[in-house]
Structure 1
Amino acid sequence: MQSSHSHLLAHSPEAIAQLQAGLAAQGAEQWSTARHHYQQGIQQDPHWAGLYVNLCATYRATQVTQPAERALGLALRLDPQLGIAHYYAGLLALDRGDRETALRSLKTALAQDPELPETYPTLGEVWTEQAGLEPWLAWLRQHPLPKTIQQLAPKQQAAIAFWQGLAWDDTDPVQAEQCFRQALACDPELGNAAAQLGQLLARYNRFEEALAITEQALIHLPEDPHLRLNHALCLLSLGRWDEGWRAYEWRRYSDQNPWVQAAGPEWNGQPFRGTLLVLTEQGLGDTLQFSRYLAWARQRCDRVVLWCPQSLVRLMETVAGVDQVFAGDDCHIAYRAHVSLLSLPRLARTTVEQIPAPIPYLRPIAPLVNQRPLPRQTSQALAVGIVWQSGPHMKDAARKCMALDPLAIALQFPGVQLYSFQVDRSEAEADRLAAQGIVDLAPQIKDFADTAAFLAQIDLLVTVDTAICHLAGAMGKPVWTLLPYAADWRWLRDRPDTPWYPTMRLFRQSRPGSWTEPLDRVRSTLEGWVRSGAEPSRSNPASRQSR
């Protein structure tokens, strides 16, 4: 609304009196009274564009469209640079369903008058709907918000602060944290802000704080699936697995974890007669890690049938406790109950101190090992496999991955032959592998059974956090896993080892985003092994400190 701050000295006292009376009536939602005063003011001062804007607002409030459009058209003819007029042009365009025009008008409104607070939340909503979130966040990064934002209602202030937090989430975590906290202060029921703040804190290993934020938000939003999932991941990261597995069942309601639906009853973990259908979910690494529970499940039913991605079928057929494995969308197998693979830890009452399945529980297919001999330049060299990227579609892939060259440089020295297991490497990376004398196994790997056949022949795998580290660990192969500063929940915190895989050693970043220090430790340890002639398979990686 056009009010007393807008150049009142340029207008007659009679028109100003009508404006003020109209504003009072409008504030009380007495639309006809407000409209009368604005019309009287226009008679006193027909060239005051602001009065036409306020008249438009009263018509729009009572859904009288054509007079509202006419009043606004007069305002814009009188003053084409009046920001509030362009704001109402945007609102009227939204009423018509014309979101493109609305977006242009709202952008013009702020270009003409950046102090208009009510324009920001409306522009944000329209812009994100029309063009996605990133263009709006990029605009926020480039345009400081005016102090007039504080005039907005608390929920609107919260929405703006939340968007600001998202805008700075990747580049300025301190400012992002402040924005998310401000959003929650304005609206404690803004679940998205609590979820984002919790995730930000978790990325910097502040899991206790993240847990506290999430639990506070759950008081207001006990059914919010994103908060519930964050809550579960915090508990699991902190080693509170008894609570964490139960809370983790909320993942089925979150769009972060697509859930596979199956007909019939869900298994409760009790013994029964009949066939159990086990459904995999999430990433390939999750299937490799939690397939250890299939033997436990098989002890409680007559038959276990596993549904998994095609790339895992041949390997999963070797897992103890599995009677049949299939892939694809159609299931023609009769079963009595079904269960998600990642629900089995809860049913088995898994704790950090008690994880089922002896190692190895995954094994290579013997004929494949003979058909896939590892190319060796010399039998004396230590055969070391490397992987530097996880799947780009995986969550937090950018934080988990590194470039090829730093890893190769850290591991290349006399007495070591490197083998690349990176199946999705680029052509440029393939050229660099060849130039550095690294054997590229990708052309010979069609699925995880092929990968296992080659893993069986190497001495050590050095990899980022991706599916192959779980395969190597499940096979009992020495594997060194390079972890980001705030690692996934399954790796717990600060430990150099993992209860999941006794032959795995963890090399964690000591600073977010920097691989220099963990790679230095990897190189130093490998050099020591090469000099001493010790075999990695005969060492006890879990007994060594890596952080």
Structure 2
Amino acid sequence: FDTALAMAPGMGAAHLNRGVSLSALMRYAPALAAFEIVLTAEPDNVDALSNTALALRNLDRPQEALELLDRALARDPAAAQAHANRASVLLDLRRFAEGVESATRAVELAPDRPEILYPRALLLSTVGRHGEAIADLDRALARDPAFIRARILRAQLQMDLGRIDAGRQDLDTLVQAAPPHPEVAFLLATARLRSSDWMRGLPLFERRNELRQKGYAEFPYPRWIGDKPDGKSLLVLQGEQGRGDIIQFARFAPLLTRLGHKVALAATAEMLPLLSGIEGIAGVMSIEQAMGLREPARWAPLMSVPHLLHLTPQTLPPFAPYLKAQTARTEAWRQRLGDGGFKIAVAFAGNPKGEAGMSRAFPLAALAPVAALDGVRIISLQKGPGEEQAQAADLPFAVEPIGAIDPPGETFLDSAAILAACDLVISCDTAMIHLAGALGRPALLALIAGCDWRWLAVREDTPWYPSVRLFRQDVPGEWSAMFARMADEVKQRMAAQAAA
């Protein structure tokens, strides 16, 4: 394309093709420049508008991308790819219903194109319509069996529905490559880990870092490979992914200290006040501080410790609470909450910006069988998205508002104190359940049918947290049976507490 443009710099088609090629190489900024040359000469060029929108999307400028796609579709309402691209942008903007509409229009216009079917499958899966999503993926794969992204998504959805064997079959068709695609390896790892096959799952789980997941960074000193303490180096464990992941895997810091290592935890600044309460470690530091460390050190991603120590669900070291609520803060919350009733702290939705924060959520109204028990007090710890449910006029039970908690610089410190002051915690799979477990507080975890690998399969207990009991959804999207069982459990706990 560069040769053609040197000979005839006004060739719009060459600029367009050059931009497409640059986008394929993930060089979105120069691709954008190439598309803009075309649009300067041809402002209504639908292909240029659509491809510019894709580049903007990949540059994290979704609103601008949407405006260009609307221009393209005003010019050509039958442009199937523009409708599909618009659906993908609406997914980024979390406007799911509109996204499904755009994706459906794209499929109506081009029902046999795998690259058109895939965005609708992705959107349908996001809103919990897994069966319809799998049907779209089946159609796409029938036309292009080598469509890796479709095969990966299909495997993920099968596992989310609890069909672990079916998900593995999809992955087995992809894992023949040596080494397999990192996303395939990661999904196969989670399938094996969920089935308690950690010896084969954990080595594959190490490939998550090739996906550059949240929080991962390469520190400028040697990696720790699981060997014995050398007596001179600081072992820096890098917190990664979400806040719940950091809390969960922080349990290995005191373990490694007992094994003779001088351990420091590196994490996002918001997590440091909570983690600083872990006894026995050398200290905590921000990711930036760890990057600039001057003393002799080695490092490892925090979630790699089970692999480096060759652990399995059966050999996880005995649990002891490793986080503590501040005594004065806990007493202040006890006084504020008062002594009356059986106090249940509730968190029912995670971070909506996280990959699965809202898909793991349960509707607050589903808690009605528990709230109906005589003497129960529901205390909501929900902040941000989902908080409005506690204020809904049609909610069939009362929820006690907790007010502003965990101000900047004190993340989870109030939450930990409230959990310590309550009789029980009920949560979806979010950071709050990890906080309760790490504190050793009694808790009930409401799990979706296709839950995360760390909760394993079938069992009602978890080797991670002895104080947490698991309640599993029987049918995706159906909560009533689970919360009826949970109400029976709460009733028994209330009776035992009253008899003590």
- Give unpaired runs (5+ residues) of structure 1: 1-59, 70-92, 151-156, 539-547
Contact 2:160–2:450, Cα closer than 8 Å, also in 1: yes
Task: Kindly provide the CA deviation profile for residues 103-139 of structure 1, in whole angstroms up to 9, marking residues without a partner as x.
Answer: 2799789979x7xxxx756x57876899888888644
- 1:275–1:304 CA contact under 8 A, matched in 2: yes
1:367 aligns with one of 325, 328, 342: 328
- Tell me the alpha carbon deviations over residues 52-84 of structure 1, each in whole angstroms, 9 at most, x when there is no partner: xxxxxxxx9xx9999999xxxxxxxxxxxxxxx
Written as runs of structure 1 = structure 2, the 5 A alignment for 1:419-498 is 419-424=379-384, 428=388, 431=391, 438-446=399-407, 447-498=411-462
Q: By how many angstroms is 1:523 displaced? A: 1.8
Distance 1:424 1:160, change over 3 A: closer
Tell me if structure 1 keeps the 8 A contact 2:80–2:116: yes
Look up the match of 1:306: 265
Alignment of 1:313-462 (within 5 A): 313-327=272-286, 329-331=288-290, 332-333=292-293, 334-379=295-340, 381-407=341-367, 410-424=370-384, 428=388, 431=391, 438-446=399-407, 447-462=411-426
Q: Once the 2 structures are TM-superposed, how far is the Cα of residue 239 of structure 1 from its aligned partner?
A: 1.5
1:234 to 174, 191, 207: 191
What is the CA distance between 1:172 and its match in structure 2? 4.7
Distance of 1:496 and 1:503 partners within structure 2:
11
- In structure 2, the partner of 1:248 is 205
Range 320-329 or range 339-348, more displaced: 320-329
Which deviates more, 239-248 or 296-305?
A: 296-305
Q: Is the 8 A contact 1:280 1:340 kept in 2?
A: yes
Q: Is the 8 A contact 1:412 1:418 kept in 2?
A: no
Is the alpha carbon distance of 1:251 and 1:172 closer, same or farther for their aligned partners in structure 2, counting shifts above 3 Å? same
Could you say what secondary structure the match of 1:481 adopts? strand
Partner residue of 1:279?
238
1:519 aligns with 2:462: no
TM-score after normalising by structure 1: 0.70
What amino acid is the match of 1:243? R
Q: Is the 8 A contact 2:159 2:167 kept in 1?
A: yes
Is the contact made by 2:44 and 2:75 (CA closer than 8 Å) also made in structure 1? no
The one-character-per-residue Cα deviations of 1:12-56 (angstroms, maximum 9, x if unpaired) are: xxxxxxxxxxxxxxxxxxxxxxxxxxxxxxxxxxxxxxxxxxxxx
Please give the per-residue CA displacement for 1:471-493, whole angstroms capped at 9, x wherever unaligned: 11122211001111111111112
Amino acid at match of 2:240: E
* Aligned-pair CA distance for 1:403: 3.1
Shift of residue 161 of structure 1?
Answer: 4.3
Give distance in 1, aligned partners of 2:305 and 2:222: 15
CA distance in 2: counterparts of 1:235 and 1:499, whole angstroms: 16
- Please report how far the alpha carbon of residue 249 of structure 1 lies from its aligned counterpart in structure 2 after TM superposition: 0.8
- 1:2-17 → structure 2 map (5 Å cutoff): none
Preserved contact between residue 410 and residue 519 of structure 1 (Cα < 8 Å): yes
- Distance, in Å, in 1 between the alignment partners of 2:222 and 2:487 is 51
**What amino acid is aligned across from residue 238 of structure 2 in structure 1?**
L
Query: Aligned letter for 2:333?
Result: R
Gaps of 5+ in 2: 14-33, 51-71
Partner of 2:38: 97
Aligned 8 A contact 2:236 2:266 in 1? yes
Deviates more, 1:308-317 or 1:276-285: 308-317
Provide the rounded CA distance (Å) in 1 between the counterparts of 2:85 and 2:357. 30
With 275-284 and 315-324 compared, the bigger mean Cα shift is at 315-324
The range that moved more, 187-196 or 479-488, is: 187-196
Query: Cα 1:377–1:242, aligned 2, differ >3 Å: closer, same or farther?
Result: same
Identify if the C-alpha distance between structure 1 residues 363 and 537 changes in structure 2 by more than 3 Å, giving closer, same or farther.
farther
Partner of 2:67: none
Distance 1:167 1:370 in 2: 46
TM-score normalised over the length of structure 2:
0.76
User: Contact 2:80–2:105 at 8 Å: present in 1 too?
Assistant: no
Q: How far apart, CA to CA, are the structure 2 residues paired with 1:226 and 1:343?
A: 17
1:251-294 Cα shifts (integer Å, max 9, x gaps): 11114545222111110011122201111011111111111111
Query: Which stretch of the first structure deviates more once superposed, 488-497 or 518-527?
Result: 518-527
The Cα shift of 1:454 comes to: 2.2
Q: Which secondary structure does the structure 1 equivalent of 2:265 belong to? A: strand
CA contact 1:189–1:220 (8 Å) conserved in 2: no
Distance 1:255 1:128, change over 3 A: farther
CA drift at 1:313 = 1.9
Instruction: Classify the secondary structure of the residue corresponding to 1:338.
Output: strand
Change (3 A) 1:129 1:64: farther
State the partner residue of 1:268. Answer: 225
Q: Which moved more, 1:133-142 or 1:220-229?
A: 133-142
The letter of the residue matching 2:137 is: F
Asked if the contact 1:319/1:362 (under 8 Å) is kept, the reply is: yes
- Give the conservation status (yes or no) of the 8 Å contact 1:249–1:343: yes
Given the superposition, is the C-alpha separation of residues 406 and 139 from structure 1 closer, same or farther in structure 2, using an over 3 Å criterion? closer
Q: Distance in 2 between matches of 1:462 and 1:108?
A: 47
The answer for the alignment partner of 2:104 in structure 1 is 141
TM-fit CA distance, 1:213: 1.1
How far 1:354 moved relative to its partner?
Answer: 1.5
C-alpha contact 1:103 1:126 (8 A) present in aligned 2: no
Q: CA separation in 1, counterparts of 2:380 and 2:128?
A: 32
More moved, 165-174 vs 448-457: 165-174
**Judging changes above 3 Å, is the alpha-carbon distance between structure 1 residues 374 and 327 closer, same or farther for their aligned structure 2 residues?**
farther
Following superposition of structure 1 onto structure 2, how do residues 35-46 of structure 1 map, counting pairs within 5 Å? none
2:171 aligned residue (205, 210, 214): 214
Listed as ranges, the matches of 1:117-132 within 5 Å are none
Distance in 1 between the 2:85 and 2:415 partners? 48
Higher relative contact order (CA 8 A, sep 6+): 2
Q: What is the Cα deviation at residue 432 of structure 1?
A: 5.8
CA contact (8 A) 1:482 1:508 kept: yes
Shift in alpha-carbon separation, 1:136–1:255, aligned structure 2, 3 A = farther
SS at match of 2:176: helix
Question: In structure 1, what residue type is equivalent to 2:122?
Answer: L
- 1:355 to partner: Cα distance: 1.1
C-alpha RMSD of the superposition:
3.8
Q: Which letter maps to 1:419?
A: I
Distance, in Å, in 1 between the alignment partners of 2:339 and 2:85 is 64
Instruction: Out of 491-500 and 447-456, give the one that drifted further.
Output: 447-456
